[in-house]
């Protein structure tokens, strides 16, 4: 089969460089162009020595002849850069948040800008294959999910879908530091972040409406709401989201066994999302596209605790983007992203 | 003022060695005896080079002439070792869980042993000065609180005391690895724990009844319950407990300002517990006896998120034990534990 | 091409489990058997969740029908386990030290045992492809190099081979903690090793005779000696060896340019060892079989500083073992070990 | 005794804030003024929550009435800020390099500026108490040593002073990341520095002339030279310098025992520098002013390996600065810096 040509916009961030690593090794893809304005003209291997073998040069603008483009640009700018390409017929996977939310009104509220093409929000598909595989297969514009939402939605989806819990949900997430990106900040300065845990965005984090949107699609109450508190923990890669939900009266009377069955059935056949029997650890996913889901019944307090674990740069960003591309182009869904986790 | 003589039982664990560090530098205490069975006969400085200057030798049994003894033994054994000393009139601060729970029935349930002297459970004082300072002052047997409970109770106490929230509480805690002790285990092996976050004790952790007991004392509903999920994060010292509670109808209508006032007033004059205005970080307490408390109102979802942060070996163990001793003996409450945090 | 069948002896250590990860993904190999005495009967995925997909069960003894066996046993035991297999005609790659040293007298001196089959020491090939590729291709018993020696020998070989430096060499190595293995010890307990650097084996480390043996083969002075000091640094994977040598009078008068050319030429065509132009970092090799070599001329003090960097579990153990197998069986040398480093 | 008044210039770097922590707790000092241009007007506790209790406000310029000033400014600017104060009679401890080197010619060579007051270079005292205690006692301008030099000079001084080794010395240092300061850089970004070791400044580091200058003062050969290679390791605090020297013919025939005696005698009575019998670890000095020195004879290769370990922010910066102040003002040398290390 002929390889498709792919490009990456903004290869110099962590999602971008992880895309380059994965796409370079993808059997059905030829990575032909990588952009990055500040590093334009440099070899990719100068900026990222682990990719020296690619021989690629970073350019200011994308080369024209690509079949698919991945945007790892920040929000707002991403839409601006993507739209002309999209209109020329290039398939797009957008790692930014610019096409994730369906309601145009949420962009000024959460991202402080008016969406430049609100008519595309309905057309764009939220790229969580476990929930939207069929639509992704037909899409030409996929909004790649956020890292926190990936872990939280996959942990909670079976509960919400089957109406087993009340819809007042709590998501307490702990993320590795790469999730904060490659831009220098004091909180991500090594001496400040090492040996340190901190909560942040207590007044509201942009991933909250995204979690709510996708879970609400599975719910018929119209009242689903999420209290989301993210934390940064001192590791490079990995997210663990610990989610709390109240069991609805009369539900889950079959106990932990019923709960396990609900999850096992929900994720049956999924190539990357696994329901596990022991508490999952972030390191069990390092460098891989896996999502580990672990539901626990707490009968005494009438709760389900559901844990979702991913590598934030792979299933939480670049790996899932490639999974979406695989589905869009009819490649085997695991092509290029089937590497086992690197442990320890 | 004449110094009192102090001894430490089981100095070779992390709580014990932290006690030795603090007591050695305490202006009103002479540390005269440290025990540790496996290391008996060794110099303390052989086992812990940072304490070489003490010149102390570890012995199998405690020397007799102490005014106060700190037990850093494990549960069950601690009570056995303490009781003869206590009966001879030695003041006791027990770091183990053996005198924390008031109900004898909880020992077989949570700790798998029958309490050897249940009659003392009522007499022992739970050594959280912010809640029990007056009783501690009169006590001769103090049960030093667990590390997780210290952070969680101090985060939630003002809410429960004032009846501002429903009593179905969630505590999501993240602890540094020293909380798991100095005993070698695979999960605390560096290569496994580095770069890793994991939840554990999902089926129930021993600190849950302790949190419930102390918060229930502040509540008059009789229905207070806690869902507690601990996690281990890759740092040596520090706990952050993120607590979730539903606001009672009609309460906290004054918003964040009212919430802040409730906390500020509750902890007014406390030498170690501070209500902060920015999200606290574990590293802000490293090596100190501080507890940082941060309450946040989430009006949209009707919740309070209350965060408590401590150094698990200081305010969560050895430092609080010395704070209790200071209160018991009438020393200035901050004596020996007033060192500023070491940052970064 | 038909796949060969491979087995791993002692899969439960870090070299063993890394072999399992790599061999499972190798296009020319079927991993059919993994042993581990303490874990016999368990699923590999129970012990190492990241390998759950393999479905393999750990057995006490190796299954018979393998074409190649990798021993990740400790020294002394490794030879005992390997020899019967070797005599039956199974190709062997031994990760232990049991066939690395050519002189039988060094085993009692450095490893405290008499070698059980000294006649095989000459026959075994030291599996550093950069130096012994042709012999490896013909070998049926390969002694896989130690992690420190791999990094140090590759850093120094061009200098010694060309007689550019005096033969009184210094190797100062810094290793990640996984190099100490999976056996629990106090120094590798997270709370002790985190935030900590320590030197060890100051009186002599077993890898020193190995480094000396291989460099002496490139030297004709007969007086080559190495002062080797290893350190442990708080990271999971990676070794950086900083090597110091005095320039011989009249040599390297062409300066840094000449030095670079010597190295570039020495490693021309090597698939994994790269001479780099900027100081290499251990993280640039994470999860890959790369060795990065960086030579620097210090004309003022008449020295060359040569740095070698590897992932100790890949090029320093399992990856190099597979590289050796590829050469032995005529597979492409990079088969199964061509994954790019995972960064960051 | 009346407290002296102290000020800190540039409190917002890591040396400055560590000075604030120590001086605030010093029994003989009143910390009255802290400056920091970018943060001027902010509370010290806003920038560094662990110092909230001080109540100090950061100002743009130093308040006038101080008896001693500590400059934690960068080089070149430090001299400019210090000189007017010095000329007004304020005692000065300069943490920067501006008065460390005796030869004015070295400033343009290593620091790229012409020294503004070369006449003061002779007058300034290099503030390493173990070598210059008497001069420090009489000084009013002390140049506080660099972090690497402190560890390396103290490790090597006894050997050089007694003429036991050749004067072609190698210093291989490993430093925690706080040594790189609080200014944001990509190499000190958490995701890049975590799990990573790197060598740097291979072409020459500014601390090399400083090490050479001080060791040359102990040597009478006139030919002393140092090859110095610094590395960054992923921990916040701590330096370990592993130093290599060739034994002079006929020296140290008494073996390790003689070597130990030389060191023990050299550092007899020193309050902070200890000769240890086991390999020292950086964590054994965390938060303290200790320097641990460990000399090892390697008779087979004719070398001494001498290891020096410090906390780079304390004995390597702020703690040693306060030690110098104590000596200058006749306070007990350990006043304010006698805290035991925080371990683990």
Q: Do A184 and D189 touch (CB under 8 A)?
A: yes
Could you give the CA distance from residue A173 to residue A227 in angstroms, rounded to a whole number?
11
- Interface check for D179 against chain C (CB to CB < 8 A): the answer is no
Query: Which of D39, D175, D190 is the best mutation test for A, with the most CBs of A within 10 A?
Result: D190
- Name the pairing type of β-strands A198-199 and A225-232: antiparallel
Residues D267 and D222 both lie in one domain: yes
190-219 in chain D: CB under 8 A from chain C: 191-192, 194-200, 202-203
Query: What is the rounded average pLDDT of the residues C167-181?
Result: 98
Q: Contact B336/B20 with Cβ under 8 angstroms?
A: no
| Chain C contact present for D236, CB below 8 A | yes
Q: Specify whether D222 is located in the same domain as D290.
A: yes
Do the strands A303-310 and A239-246 form a parallel or antiparallel pair, or are they unpaired?
Answer: antiparallel
What six digits make up the tokens of B179? 């909380």
D287 → closest Cβ in B48, B49, B342: B342
CB distance C184–B182 less than 8 Å?
A: no
Question: How sure is the predictor about C220, in pLDDT bands with cuts at 50, 70 and 90?
Answer: confident
pLDDT of res. A31: 97
C344 touches chain B (CB under 8 A): no
Average confidence score pLDDT of chain D: 97
Instruction: Say yes or no: D176 and D303 in one domain.
Output: yes
| Structural domains in chain A (count) | 2
Task: For chain B, say whether D277 makes contact (Cβ under 8 Å).
Answer: no
| Whether the Cβ atoms of residue C44 and residue C69 lie closer than 8 Å to each other | no
Provide the terminal-to-terminal Cα distance of chain C, rounded to the nearest Å. 36
Is residue C155 domain-shared with residue C92, that is, in the same domain? no
Report phi then psi at D20, rounded to 5: -60, -45
Question: Quick one: B175 and B289 in the same domain?
Answer: yes
| Runs of H (alpha helix) within chain C | 14-24, 44-47, 77-87, 106, 119-123, 129-138, 147-161, 190-193, 207-216, 255-266, 319-329
pLDDT at A128: 98
Chain D CB contacts of A186 below 8 Å: 182, 184
Residues of D in contact with C242 (CB under 8 A): 172, 199, 229, 231
What is the distance between the terminal CA atoms of chain A, rounded to a whole angstrom?
Answer: 36
Tell me B317's DSSP state: I
H/E segment holding residue C339: none
Residues of D in contact with B288 (CB under 8 A): 50
> Which residue in the block uniquely carries the two structure tokens 């001479």?
C275
Q: Does A29 touch chain D (CB under 8 A)?
A: no
Please give the pLDDT value at position B64.
72
Chain C contact for A339, CB < 8 A? yes
Per the domain annotation, does A35 fall within a domain?
A: yes
Q: Do C235 and D300 touch (CB under 8 A)?
A: no
CA pair distance D8, D318, nearest whole angstrom: 11
Q: Are C46 and C61 in contact (CB under 8 A)?
A: no
Cβ of D236 under 8 Å from any chain A Cβ? yes
In chain C, what residues touch D200 (CB-CB under 8 Å)? 279
Is residue C64 scored above 80 in pLDDT?
Answer: no
DSSP-based three-state secondary structure for B130: helix
Is A137 within a domain?
A: no
CB contact under 8 A, A283 and B196: yes
**D220 pLDDT above the threshold of 90:** no
Q: Which of C176, C182, C234 sits opposite B189 (nearest CB)?
A: C182
Is residue B87 assigned to a domain? Answer: yes
Residues of C in contact with A50 (CB under 8 A): 284-286, 288, 340-341, 343
D215 and D98 co-located in one domain: no
How would residue D64 be classed by pLDDT, with cut points 50, 70 and 90? confident
Q: Are strands B58-59 and C125-126 parallel, antiparallel or unpaired?
A: unpaired
pLDDT of residue C338: 98
List CB contacts (< 8 A) between D340 and chain B: 21, 24-25, 50-51, 53
**CB contact (8 A) between residue B190 and residue C194:** yes
The token pair that represents A303 in the structure block: 């709760």
Q: If you average pLDDT over residues D242-268, what whole number do you get? A: 98
Domain at D35, CATH number: 3.40.50.720
Return the DSSP state at D93.
Answer: E
Give how far C189 is from chain B: nearest CA, Å.
5
pLDDT for res A63: 80
Q: What is the rounded distance in angstroms from the CA atom of residue C131 to the CA atom of residue C109?
A: 26
Q: CB distance B190–C234 less than 8 Å?
A: yes
Against chain B, the chains showing at least 3 CB pairs within 8 Å are: A, C, D
Shortest CA distance from D176: residue in chain A: A191
Q: Do D189 and A178 touch (CB under 8 A)?
A: no
The Cα–Cα gap between A209 and A205 comes to 8
One digit per residue, the tens of pLDDT, for chain A of length 344 reads 689 999 999 999 999 999 999 999 999 999 999 999 899 999 999 999 999 999 999 999 998 799 999 999 999 999 999 999 999 999 999 999 999 999 999 999 999 999 999 999 999 999 999 999 999 999 999 999 999 999 999 999 999 999 999 999 999 999 999 999 999 999 999 999 999 999 999 999 999 999 999 999 999 899 999 999 999 999 999 999 999 999 999 999 999 999 999 999 999 999 999 999 999 999 999 999 999 999 999 999 999 999 999 999 999 999 999 999 999 999 999 999 999 999 99
Asked if the Cβ–Cβ distance from B244 to A170 is below 8 Å, we say yes
Within 8 A of C312 by CB-CB distance, chain A residues are none
In what helix (H) or strand (E) does residue D62 lie, and over which residues does it extend? none
Q: How far apart are CA D244 and CA B317, in angstroms?
A: 43
The CATH number of the domain holding residue D291 is: 3.30.360.10
**CA separation (Å) from C324 to A159, C216, C236, C328?**
50, 22, 24, 6
B287 touches chain D (CB under 8 A): yes
Residue A192 lies in a domain: yes
Confidence of residue C72 (pLDDT cuts 50, 70, 90): very high
Mean pLDDT, contiguous 10-residue spans, chain B (344 residues): 94 98 98 96 98 97 92 97 96 98 97 96 97 98 98 98 98 98 98 98 97 96 96 98 98 98 98 98 98 98 98 98 98 98 98
| pLDDT at residue A193, as a whole number | 98
Any CB–CB contact under 8 A between C49 and chain A?
yes
- Contact predicate B39/B12, CB 8 Å: yes
Distances from the Cα of C270 to the Cα of A15, B57, C23, C133, C164, angstroms: 30, 58, 22, 11, 22
Residues A194 and A305 placed together within one structural domain of the fold: yes
D178 and D46 fall within a common domain: no
Whether B123 and B105 share a structural domain: yes
Question: Is B103 part of any domain?
Answer: yes
Q: Say if D185 is an interface residue toward chain C (CB within 8 Å).
A: no
Beta-carbon separation of D50 and B195 below 8 A: no
Whether residue D174 lies within 8 A of chain C, CB to CB, comes out as: yes
C88 domain-assigned: yes
Q: Which of A245, A317, A331, A241 is nearest to A1 (CA)?
A: A331
Q: How many C-beta neighbours within 10 Å does residue B248 have?
A: 15
Taking the CA of residue C18 and the nearest CA in chain A, the distance in Å comes to: 8
Tens digits of residue pLDDT in C10-29: 999 999 999 999 999 999 99
Residue D307 lies in a domain: yes
Cβ partners under 8 Å of residue B183, min gap 6: B13
- Closest partner residue to D178 (CB to CB) among A176, A185, A191 is A191
Q: What does the DSSP 8-state code read for residue D343?
A: -
Residue B54: partners with Cβ closer than 8 Å, 6 or more residues away = B20, B24, B31, B44, B45
C contacts of B193 (beta carbons < 8 Å): 190
Q: Is B105 on the interface with D (CB under 8 A)?
A: no
Q: What was the pLDDT predicted at C165?
A: 98
Residues of D in contact with C312 (CB under 8 A): none
A301 and A225 co-located in one domain: yes
H/E segment holding residue D13: none
Under the banding of pLDDT at 50, 70 and 90, the label for residue C111 is very high
**Cα–Cα distance measured from residue A138 to residue B330, given in angstroms and rounded to the nearest whole number:** 75
Chain B residues whose CB is inside 8 A of the A344 CB are 191-192, 194
Task: Point out the catalytic residue in the list C91, C147, C243, C291.
Answer: C147
C54/C197 same-domain check:
no
- Residue in chain C closest to D281 (alpha carbons) equals C198
* C-beta separation of C222 from D264 below 8 A: no
Same domain, D270 and D159: yes
Q: Which of A255, A257, A160, A176 is nearest to A213 (CA)?
A: A160
Instruction: Indicate if the pLDDT at residue D1 is higher than 90.
Output: no
- Measure the CA–CA gap between B143 and D336, rounded to whole angstroms: 33
Q: Do C182 and B190 touch (CB under 8 A)?
A: no
- Give the gyration radius of chain C's Cα atoms: 20
- Per-position b or e across A130-149, b if 16+ CB within 10 A of its CB: bbbbeebeebebbbbbbbbb
Q: How many CB pairs under 8 A join A and B?
A: 129
Query: How far is Cα D282 from Cα D270, in angstroms, rounded to an integer?
Result: 19
Q: Which of B190, B280, B342 to probe by mutation at the D interface, max D CB count within 10 Å?
A: B342
Radius of gyration of the CA atoms of chain A, in A: 20
Active site residues of A: 147
Tokens of residue A156, six digits? 């909670």
pTM (2 decimals)? Answer: 0.98
Supply the pLDDT for residue C63: 80
Q: Is residue A54 part of a domain?
A: yes
Block residue for tokens 């182009």: A329
DSSP summary character for residue D42? S
Q: Which residue has the tokens 């005494």?
A: A300
State the nearest Cα–Cα gap between D25 and chain A, in angstroms.
23
pLDDT tens by residue, D296-313 = 999 999 999 999 999 999
A205-256: pLDDT as tens digits: 999 999 999 999 999 899 999 999 999 999 999 999 999 999 999 999 999 9
Q: Identify the DSSP state of C315.
A: I
Structure tokens at C47: 């012990």
Q: Which two tokens stand for residue C185?
A: 């010890």
Q: Does C344 contact A at CB distance below 8 Å? A: yes
Tell me which residue range forms the domain holding C52. Answer: 4-123
- What average pLDDT does chain C have? 97
H helices within D114-251, ranges in order?
A: 119-123, 129-138, 147-161, 190-193, 207-216
């Amino acid at each position: 089969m002929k390889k498709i040509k792919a490009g990456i916009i903004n290869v110099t961030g962590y999602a971008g460089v992880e895309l380059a690593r994965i796409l370079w090794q993808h059997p059905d893809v030829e990575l032909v162009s990588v952009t990055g304005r500040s590093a334009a003209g440099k070899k990719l291997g100068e900026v990222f020595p682990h990719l020296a073998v690619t021989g690629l040069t970073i350019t200011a603008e994308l080369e024209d002849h690509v079949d698919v483009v991945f945007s790892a640009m920040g929000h707002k700018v991403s839409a601006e850069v993507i739209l002309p390409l999209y209109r020329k017929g290039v398939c797009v996977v957008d790692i930014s948040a610019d096409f994730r939310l369906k309601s145009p009104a949420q962009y000024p509220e959460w991202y402080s800008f008016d969406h430049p093409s609100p008519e595309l929000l309905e057309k764009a598909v939220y790229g969580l294959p476990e929930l939207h595989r069929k639509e992704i297969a037909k899409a030409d514009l996929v909004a790649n999910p956020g890292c926190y939402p990936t872990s939280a939605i996959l942990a909670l989806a079976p509960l919400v879908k089957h109406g087993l819990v009340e819809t007042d949900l709590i998501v307490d997430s702990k993320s590795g530091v790469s999730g904060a990106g490659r831009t220098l900040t004091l909180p991500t300065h090594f001496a400040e972040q090492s040996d340190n845990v901190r909560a942040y965005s207590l007044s509201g984090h942009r991933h909250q409406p995204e979690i709510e949107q996708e879970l609400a699609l599975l719910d018929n109450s119209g009242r689903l709401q999420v209290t989301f508190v993210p934390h940064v923990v001192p590791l490079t890669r990995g997210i663990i989201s610990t989610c709390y939900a109240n069991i609805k009266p009369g539900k889950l009377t079959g106990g932990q066994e019923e709960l396990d069955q609900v999850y096992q059935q929900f994720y049956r056949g999924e190539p990357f999302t696994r329901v596990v029997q022991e508490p999952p650890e972030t390191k069990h996913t390092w460098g891989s596209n896996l999502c580990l889901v672990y539901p626990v019944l707490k009968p005494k307090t009438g709760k389900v605790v559901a844990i979702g674990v991913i590598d934030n740069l792979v299933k939480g960003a670049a790996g899932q983007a490639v999974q979406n591309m695989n589905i869009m182009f009819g490649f085997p869904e695991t092509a290029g992203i089937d590497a086992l986790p690197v442990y320890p």
